[in-house]
């Protein structure tokens, strides 16, 4: 090749490189939406006759997941994918939008306008930041109205019944009055029965059992922050060491990394830690900044910091170092964790308390029902009814059996009642090599692809005869978790629990005219609290907190509290706290 | 309009022009076409209508920004931090370049230069990670040293606003000084050695050589780099500050760039964030033009 030829080829290649980098994948997002060009079955033939009752359509469905890779994965096991195809005709393909914060990805994804057949996103309740984004998209006609499509389904038609959905899901998320009966996204993770519990969580601070035993302290007797302080002092004076021989921190950070942990001092906190608003005994709605509790808590934390009873980076330490402190026993008290942590299956950490609240003794709070995520179908998707039917299949018992337990014979067998009995080798693999187990591709081994569209109408006991995956066959898998449940007297506390249904106080920020400014001021309040913990004295801390309160008031705090009072008076918009 | 002569010249040097093409395409695609998106600063962005289809709303976002209680603090923080990085930092790479120039041992100079360039290739995530570890209370290198010398050793430097500027500026100098000295070193290398020889014959000391020959000779380079850097006076370095932010120093470290990310990307207010970004760019552009004029008038050195 001559010199000229080389130059032409080089320039051509550079241009091609530039142009291909800018080009879009023109493959239609909705795949074989005409129902004819789907992939073939394992027999190499398109199914024509004898289709199963679960058959929907021969097509590919693509979903874009705006949630973290820690919680979900794009990879599907080939055999499970094929089984799904055989049962429904649908080939499911998932893509996770990677972003620093899942909401960044959601906004960018919706703004790009290039959405596949369905999208899924985090949505605990209507107060979550994602809500304002999807609401804007729904108002601007980006999503398909799902109400008519849900009418003919088995599971999702329950969403149209009067008494099925919790208040927030019904009026705050899905069937908002402004939509006049239409609904543009589906709220997931709804329990079949109101007030039912899918997992017996015991959360909050945990203390090392050997230390509690040495000090002859029953962690359950700790009921106030002052008693917790006394325990921390005893730990410090005891000179306890971690597994590496280093001195322990009496109070270490949360297992998941630095953050504010209200469970350490609920008697010095006002409202839920992510809300900080509730009414006082006279029914007057107050923000924590308007009460004495913020300064009391600052004083308490400053005392812990000064006396070196708490990890100096308790509120900011990164997750890896926090988890390491828990695993090595460096945290004598782990600020926050729960009973399902595998490292604690031998119960070498025990739960403290629970501590009493600011204005009342401890009482377990149970949500009537609560959501976790949501999904929507873009208005550009063809034949959206097929997506809804597919979601309905995944939410049915048959669908759940596939995505939660895998394949019959390979991963489980059925007992005489038709309930799955998990195979020992799967459980062994899950313990010895969790990544290899995950490749089996179902929720029991941590691949929750089916949860995205099918994780709702939850009642594991009724569906599969067990609360946790594999529990009925091998109860030792959850020996630690169950031991702590007994130790905590979870069932006893559940009997006296308060069942809440309503909106979290911050849910109405979206409809408040200065909502954006107030949200910023609330965030600033949380940051100011942490800043105040580290000030040199209480006077300085008071200045920081006064400034934060002024900012909230300038952003309309008082009007917002009045709005909450009005909302709470209406049965359809009761506020929970 | 292109004359026939110019076309002929282009045709004659077509291969050189073709080599220029990817560079031009890069700037057109990644710098000029996206400028069209600036219209978002004057539009009420709707997901379904796109940038061009969304309705115009005038200067609403600009009014909103200046009515926001945070705006003055954001501008103040941005100006302080970028001012430190522009003015206070300016002599550091020049001094380093002068020092490198005086090292006679070639091997030692190469080693010293390489070591000083290395931090440039580390991302801010890594650098701030190192800073966090070194400054960690109790377990950090600095606190351990303080404790070993009889001090308290539990200071949470990153949470204390008193130490914020020192940490911010120190880490910026550490990361950038080596790389930024290269251009000055190149300028120094271009100075005619005869000038030094003449100075030495006249009995000039080393300091006199630097003061009267080296610095005046590289002054045009210093001025041009300074003028160009004025364009980013309202961009104080997003990555570093975003990572160094803690609740304790937030009132000092929150700058326009972090604000744009918070309201624009995390809050979904693209129009508002674009308006603030546009304002940053315009102020930088005006400053560059003014500084260039001033420099041309005073010293005959200018970018254009």
User: A354: which DSSP letter?
Assistant: P
Give chain B positions within 8 Å (CB) of A524.
250
A254: helix, coil or strand? coil
Are the Cβ atoms of B69 and A551 closer than 8 angstroms?
Answer: yes
Percent of chain B having pLDDT more than 90? 53
Residue contact A530–B266, C-beta within 8 A: no
CB contact under 8 A, B48 and A7: no
Please tell me the distance from the alpha carbon of residue A265 to that of residue B275, in angstroms, as a whole number.
43
> Which residues of chain B have a CB within 8 Å of the CB of A11?
18, 21
Of chain A, the percentage scoring pLDDT greater than 70 comes to 91
Minimal Cα distance from B254: which residue of A?
Answer: A524
In terms of Cα–Cα distance, which of A97, A140, A138 is closest to A121? A97
SS3 A247: strand
Residue A5: its pLDDT value, please? 63
Backbone angles phi, psi at A252, to 5 degrees: -95, 170
Shortest Cα distance, chain B CAs vs residue A113, angstroms: 7
Residues of chain B with pLDDT below 70 are 1-3, 266-267
B301/A contact by beta carbon, under 8 A:
no
> What is the pLDDT averaged over residues A479-503?
89
Chain A closest-CA separation from residue B57 CA (Å): 17
CB B270 within 8 A of CB A133: no
Distance CA A389, CA A156 (A): 9
Structure confidence at residue B266 (pLDDT): 67
Indicate the DSSP class of residue A220. G
Are the C-beta atoms of B220 and B301 separated by less than 8 Å?
A: yes
Helix axes A557-569, A538-554, angle to 10 degrees: 70
User: b/e string for A86-99 if b means 16 or more Cβ within 10 A?
Assistant: bbbbbbbbbebbeb
CB-CB neighbors (< 8 A) of A142 in chain B: 47-48
Using an 8 Å Cβ cutoff, are A207 and A251 in contact? no
Handedness of CA A456, A462, A467, A468 (dihedral sign): negative
Q: Please give the C-alpha separations between residue B6 and each of A546, B2, B3, B10, in angstroms, as whole numbers.
A: 70, 6, 5, 6
Instruction: Tell me, yes or no, if B49 comes closer than 8 A to chain A by beta carbon.
Output: yes
The answer to whether residue A66 neighbours chain B at the CB level (below 8 Å) is no
Confidence of residue A14 (pLDDT cuts 50, 70, 90): low
What's the pLDDT score for residue A240?
A: 96
CA angle B108, B112, B115 (to 5 degrees): 140
Mean local confidence (pLDDT), A472-501: 88
DSSP per residue over A79-129, as a string? HHHHHHHHHHSEEEEEEE---SSHHHHHHHHHHH----SEEEEE-SSTTSH
Band (pLDDT 50/70/90 cuts) for residue A247 is very high
The angle formed by the CA atoms of residues A45, A51 and A55, to the nearest 5 degrees, is 105
Cβ-based burial of A244 (10 A; exposed 0-12, middle 13-18, buried ≥19) = exposed
The tokens 């942590």 sit on which residue? A341
| H helix intervals, A396-489 | 397-405, 424-432, 434-438, 451-454, 460-464, 479-488
Higher per-residue pLDDT: A561 or B151: A561
Residue A207's beta-bridge partner residues?
A333, A350
Split at pLDDT 50, 70, 90, the class of A455 is very high
In this predicted structure, the answer to whether residue A44 has a pLDDT above a threshold of 50 is no
Q: What are the tens digits of pLDDT across the range A503-513?
A: 889 888 878 88
- Judged by CB atoms closer than 8 Å, whether chains meet at A520 and B70 is answered as yes
- Which residues in chain A touch residue B69, judged by CB atoms under 8 angstroms apart? 551, 554-555
Q: Which tokens in the block code for residue A215?
A: 């000090």
Characterize A302-324 residue by residue with b for buried, 16 or more Cβ atoms within 10 angstroms of its Cβ, and e for exposed.
bebbeebbbbbbbbbbeeebbbe
pLDDT at A266 over 70: yes
Q: Is the pLDDT of residue A345 over 60?
A: yes
What is the average pLDDT score of chain A?
87
CB contact under 8 A, B29 and A22: yes
Hey, of B126, B158, B163, B247, which one would you mutate to test binding to chain A, going by the most A CBs within 10 A of its CB?
B247
B153 in contact with chain A, both atoms CB, cutoff 8 A: no
Asked if pLDDT for residue A59 goes beyond 70, the answer is yes
CA dist., res. A545 & res. A534, Å (int): 12
Hey, are the CB atoms on B18 and A7 less than 8 Å from each other?
yes
Nearest residue of B to residue A380 by CA position? B48
Confidence of residue A11 (pLDDT cuts 50, 70, 90): low
Which carries the bigger pLDDT value, residue A342 or residue A32? A342
Distance from CA of B5 to the nearest CA of A (A): 24
Closest CA to A426 of A448, A452, A404: A404
Residue B250 and residue A517: Cβ atoms within 8 Å?
no
For an interface test with B, which of A12, A313, A532 has the most B Cβ atoms less than 10 Å from its Cβ? Answer: A313
Give the one of B48, B137, B160 whose C-beta lies nearest to A141's C-beta.
B48
- Asked if the C-beta of B50 comes within 8 angstroms of chain A's C-beta atoms, the answer is yes
Query: Among residues 106-125 of chain A, which lie with CB inside 8 Å of chain B?
Result: 107-108, 110-111, 113
Collapsing DSSP to helix, strand or coil, A65 comes out as: strand
Residue appearing with tokens 């109408």:
A457
Between CA A397 and CA A454 the distance in angstroms is: 10
User: What's the residue count for chain A?
Assistant: 577
Q: What is the pLDDT of residues A153-191, one digit of tens each?
A: 999 999 999 889 988 899 889 998 889 999 999 999 999
Using CB atoms within 10 Å of the CB of residue A478, give its burial: 0 to 12 exposed, 13 to 18 middle, 19+ buried.
buried
Contacts of A516 in chain B (CB under 8 A): 263, 267, 269
B263 CB neighbours in chain A (<8 A) are: 516
Per-residue pLDDT at A46 exceeds 50? no
pLDDT score at A10: 62
Do A534 and B156 lie within an 8 Å CB cutoff? yes
Residue in the structure block whose two tokens are 């309202």: B234
| CB interface of A with B, residues 21-50, below 8 Å | 22
CA B98/CA B214 separation, integer angstroms: 8
Chain A hits for B15, CB-CB cut-off 8 Å, are: 7
Answer yes or no: is pLDDT of A446 > 60: yes
SS3 A277: strand
Using a CB-CB distance cutoff of 8 angstroms, which residues of chain B are in contact with residue A104? 265-266
pLDDT score, position A38:
38
- pLDDT score recorded for residue B269: 79
Cis peptide before A354 (omega within 30 of 0): yes
Q: Model confidence over A383-400: pLDDT tens digits?
A: 999 999 999 999 999 999
Token pair recorded at residue A16: 């091609």
pLDDT at A32: 36
Cα Rg of chain B (Å, integer): 24
pLDDT per position as a tens digit, A288-338: 999 999 999 999 999 999 999 999 999 989 888 899 999 999 999 999 999
What confidence category does residue A27 fall into, taking pLDDT thresholds of 50, 70 and 90?
A: very low
* Contact A520/B at CB under 8 A: yes
pLDDT at A71: 67
A34 pLDDT more than 80: no
Q: Is A517 on the interface with B (CB under 8 A)?
A: yes
pLDDT in tens, B156-184: 999 999 999 999 999 999 999 999 999 99
Q: What angle separates helix A515-533 from helix A557-569, to the nearest 10 degrees?
A: 110
Q: Are β-strands A249-252 and A186-187 bridged in parallel, bridged antiparallel, or unpaired?
A: unpaired
Its pTM surpasses 0.80: no
Alpha helices in A185-292 (DSSP H): 209-214, 225-238
**CB proximity list for B189: less than 8 A, separation 6 or greater:** none
**Contact B30/A at CB under 8 A:** no
Q: Which of A101, A140, A531 sits opposite B250 (nearest CB)?
A: A531
What distance in Å separates the CA atoms of residue A157 and residue A81, rounded to the nearest whole number? 26
CA distance A64 to chain B (A): 17
Chain A interface, best mutation among B268, B269, B271, by max A CB count within 10 A:
B268
Question: What ipTM was estimated for this complex?
Answer: 0.74
**Higher pLDDT among residues A376 and A1, named by residue:** A376
Residue from A531, A535, A540, A541 whose CB has the most chain B CBs within 10 Å, to mutate: A531
Chain A residue with CA closest to B247: the answer is A527
A109 within 8 A of A64, measured Cβ to Cβ: yes
Residue A482 Cα distances to A102, A238, A392, A419, A494, angstroms:
33, 30, 32, 21, 15
Angle (CA) A542-A545-A547 rounded to 5° is 110
Query: B21 is written with which tokens?
Result: 């093409």
Rounded distance between C-alpha atoms, residue B151 and residue B144, angstroms: 9
CB contacts of B25 in chain A (<8 Å) are 15, 18
3-state secondary structure of A273: coil
Does the distance separating the beta carbons of A316 and B159 come in below 8 Å?
yes
Please report which confidence band the pLDDT of residue A209 belongs to, taking 50, 70 and 90 as the band edges.
very high
Confidence category of residue A35, pLDDT binned at 50, 70, 90: very low
Sequence-distant (6+) residues with CB within 8 A of A235 are A211, A215, A248, A250, A309, A332, A333
CB contact under 8 A, A113 and B247: no
Q: Which residues of chain A have a CB within 8 Å of the CB of B21?
A: 11, 14-15
On chain A, the residues whose CB falls within 8 A of the CB of B63 are: none
* Chain A CB within 8 Å of residue B248 CB: yes
Contacts A–B by Cβ distance under 8 A: 83
DSSP of B89-156, one letter per residue?
Answer: TTHHHHHHHHHHHH---HHHHHHHHHHHHGGGGS-HHHHHHHHHHHH-TTTSHHHHHHHHTTS-----
Predicted confidence at residue B260, as pLDDT, reads 85
Burial class of residue B206 in the structure, from the number of CB atoms within 10 Å of its CB (0-12 exposed, 13-18 middle, 19+ buried): exposed
Q: How far is A307 from chain B (nearest CA, A)?
A: 11
HEC sequence for A355-386: CCCCCCCCCCEEECCCCCEEEECECCCCCHHH
Cα nearest neighbour of B26 on chain A: A18
Q: What is the C-alpha to C-alpha distance for residues A529 and A542, in angstroms, rounded to an integer?
A: 10
Cross-strand bridge partners of residue A277: A287
B250 → chain A, closest CA residue:
A527
User: Hey, are the CB atoms on A113 and B47 less than 8 Å from each other?
Assistant: yes
In terms of Cα–Cα distance, which of A96, A169, A156 is closest to A372? Answer: A169
Q: Any idea how long chain B is?
A: 304
């Amino acid at each position: 090749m001559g010199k000229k030829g080389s130059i032409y080829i080089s320039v051509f290649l550079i241009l091609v490189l530039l142009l291909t980098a800018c080009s879009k994948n023109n493959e239609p997002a909705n795949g074989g939406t005409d129902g004819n060009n789907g992939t073939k079955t394992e027999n190499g033939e398109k199914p024509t006759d004898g289709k199963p009752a679960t058959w929907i359509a021969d097509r590919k469905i693509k979903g874009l997941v705006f949630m973290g890779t820690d919680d979900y994965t794009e990879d599907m096991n080939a055999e499970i994918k094929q089984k799904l195809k055989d049962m429904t005709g649908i080939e499911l393909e998932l893509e996770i939008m990677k972003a620093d914060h899942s909401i960044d990805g959601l906004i960018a994804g919706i703004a790009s306008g290039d959405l596949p057949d369905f999208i899924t996103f985090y949505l605990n309740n209507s107060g979550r930041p994602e809500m304002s984004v999807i609401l804007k998209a729904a108002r601007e006609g980006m999503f398909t109205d799902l109400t008519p499509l849900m009418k003919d389904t088995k599971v999702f038609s329950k969403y149209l019944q009067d008494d099925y959905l919790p208040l927030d899901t019904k009026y705050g998320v899905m069937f908002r009055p402004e939509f006049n009966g239409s609904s543009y996204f589906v709220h997931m993770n709804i329990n079949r029965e109101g007030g039912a519990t899918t997992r017996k969580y015991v959360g909050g601070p945990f203390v090392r059992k050997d230390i509690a035993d040495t000090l002859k302290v029953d962690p359950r007797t700790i009921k106030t922050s002052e008693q917790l302080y006394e325990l921390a002092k005893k730990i410090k004076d005891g000179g306890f060491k971690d597994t590496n021989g280093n001195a322990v921190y009496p109070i270490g950070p949360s297992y998941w990394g630095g953050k504010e942990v209200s469970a350490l001092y609920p008697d010095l906190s006002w409202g839920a830690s992510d809300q900080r608003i509730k009414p006082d005994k006279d029914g007057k709605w107050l923000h924590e900044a308007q009460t004495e509790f913020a300064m009391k808590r600052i004083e308490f934390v400053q005392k812990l910091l000064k006396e070196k009873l708490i990890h100096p980076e308790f509120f900011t330490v990164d997750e890896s170092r926090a988890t390491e402190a828990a695993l090595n026993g460096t945290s004598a008290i782990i600020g926050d964790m729960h009973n399902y942590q595998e490292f604690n299956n031998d119960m070498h950490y025990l739960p403290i308390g629970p501590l009493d609240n600011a204005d009342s003794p401890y009482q377990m709070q149970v949500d009537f029902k609560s959501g976790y995520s949501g999904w929507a179908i873009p208005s550009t998707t063809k034949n959206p009814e097929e997506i809804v039917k597919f979601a309905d299949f995944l939410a049915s018992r048959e669908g759940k059996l596939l995505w939660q337990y895998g394949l019959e014979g390979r991963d489980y067998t059925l007992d005489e009642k038709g309930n799955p009995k998990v195979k020992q080798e799967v459980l062994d693999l899950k313990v010895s090599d969790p990544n290899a187990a995950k490749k089996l591709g179902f929720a029991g081994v941590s691949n929750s692809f089916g949860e995205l569209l099918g994780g709702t109408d939850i009642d594991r006991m009724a569906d599969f005869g067990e609360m946790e995956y594999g529990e009925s066959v091998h109860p030792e898998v959850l020996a630690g978790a169950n031991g702590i449940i007994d130790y905590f007297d979870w069932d006893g506390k559940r009997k006296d629990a308060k069942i809440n249904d309503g909106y979290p106080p911050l849910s109405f920020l979206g409809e408040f005219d200065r909502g954006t400014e107030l949200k910023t001021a609330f965030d600033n309040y949380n940051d100011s609290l942490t800043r105040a913990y580290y000030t040199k004295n209480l006077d300085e801390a008071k200045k920081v907190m006064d400034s934060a309160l002024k900012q909230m008031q300038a952003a309309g705090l008082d009007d917002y509290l009045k709005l909450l009072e009005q909302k709470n008076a209406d049965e359809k918009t009761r506020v929970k706290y | 309009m292109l004359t026939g002569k110019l076309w002929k010249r282009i045709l004659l040097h077509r291969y050189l022009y073709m080599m220029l093409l990817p560079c031009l395409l890069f700037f057109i695609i990644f710098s000029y076409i996206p400028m069209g998106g600036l219209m978002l600063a004057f539009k009420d962005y709707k997901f379904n209508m796109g940038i061009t289809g969304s309705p115009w709303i005038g200067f609403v976002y600009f009014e909103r920004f200046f009515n926001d209680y945070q705006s003055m603090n954001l501008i103040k923080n941005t100006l302080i931090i970028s001012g430190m990085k522009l003015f206070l930092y300016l002599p550091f790479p020049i001094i380093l370049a002068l020092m490198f120039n005086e090292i006679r041992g070639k091997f030692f100079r190469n080693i010293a230069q390489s070591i000083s360039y290395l931090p440039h290739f580390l991302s801010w995530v890594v650098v701030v990670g190192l800073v966090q570890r070194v400054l960690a209370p109790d377990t950090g290198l600095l606190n351990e040293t303080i404790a070993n010398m009889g001090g308290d050793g539990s200071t949470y430097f990153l949470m204390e606003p008193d130490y914020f500027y020192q940490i911010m500026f120190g880490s910026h100098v550490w990361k950038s000084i080596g790389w930024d000295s290269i251009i000055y070193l190149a300028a120094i290398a271009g100075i005619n050695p005869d000038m030094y020889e003449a100075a030495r014959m006249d009995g000039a000391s080393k300091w006199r050589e630097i003061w009267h020959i080296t610095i005046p000779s590289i002054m045009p380079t210093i001025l041009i780099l300074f003028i160009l850097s004025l364009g980013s006076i309202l961009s104080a370095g997003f990555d570093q500050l975003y990572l160094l932010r803690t609740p304790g120093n937030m009132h000092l470290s929150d700058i326009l760039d972090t604000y744009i990310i918070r309201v624009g990307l995390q809050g979904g207010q693209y129009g508002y964030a674009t308006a603030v970004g546009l304002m940053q760019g315009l102020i930088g552009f005006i400053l560059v033009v003014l500084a260039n004029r001033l420099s041309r008038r005073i010293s005959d050195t200018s970018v254009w």
